[in-house]
Amino acid sequence: MFWFKKRKKEKDIINNPFYNEQNALIIYFKCNNCGEKFRSYLRKGYDFSNSYEGKAAYIINKEYIGSKCSHRIQLIAEFDNAYRLLNFDLIGGTPITKEEFESEG
């Protein structure tokens, strides 16, 4: 029996841009200024900070700077204790699919 992974669609990326891969969450995005593509590999239990406020159990607050321009991209996200996304904000960047990241151009 074959099991196929469901590909994320464009609308799914807007609601939840994170791909769950074993012991990590991966997000793909591009810079709004120059279009440079990024892949961020966030390890569960290591890259996440504990949150002691509200419903969130874990938070991510990271800043990225690419090699093409000095434009800063900030990722802020909150997760419950099962690493399910509660909310996120990607300032200066736009989420993209894994397929878009791997494509040329």
Q: Which value, to the nearest 10 degrees, does the dihedral of the CA atoms of residues 99, 36, 22, 15 take? A: -70
For residue 26, the model assigns a pLDDT of 96
Tens of pLDDT, residue by residue, the chain (105 residues): 444 445 555 556 677 899 998 899 999 999 999 999 999 999 998 889 998 888 899 999 999 999 989 899 999 999 999 999 999 999 999 999 999 999 876
Contact 93, 6 (CB under 8 A): no
Query: How many Å apart are CA 98 and CA 104, to the nearest integer?
Result: 12
Element (H, E) at 101: helix 98-102
pTM of the model: 0.84
At 30, give phi and psi (nearest 5°): -130, 155
Q: What is the pLDDT of residue 105?
A: 60
Distances (CA, A) of 93 to 7, 41, 71, 74: 21, 16, 10, 8
- In the block, tokens 């419903």 appear at 55
In 3D space, the residue among 70, 68, 14, 74 whose CA is nearest the CA of residue 40 turns out to be 74
